Amino acid sequence: MAATDLTRPYAASGSAARIGTMFATAIGTFAAWNDARLTRNSLSALTDRELDDIGLHRGDIDGVAGRY
State residue 16's pLDDT score: 78
Give percent of the chain with pLDDT exceeding 70.
79
DSSP codes of every residue in 25-61: HHHHHHHHHHHHHHHHHHHHTS-HHHHHHTT--GGGH
State residue 6's pLDDT score: 64
- Where are the chain's structural domains? 29-67
Pick left, alpha or beta for residue 47 (phi over 0 → left; psi -120 to 50 → alpha; otherwise beta). beta
State residue 18's pLDDT score: 87
Query: What is the overall mean pLDDT for the chain?
Result: 86
Other beta carbons within 10 Å of 60: 13
pLDDT class of 37 with cuts at 50, 70, 90: very high
Closest-CA residue to 24 (of 37, 16, 66) = 16
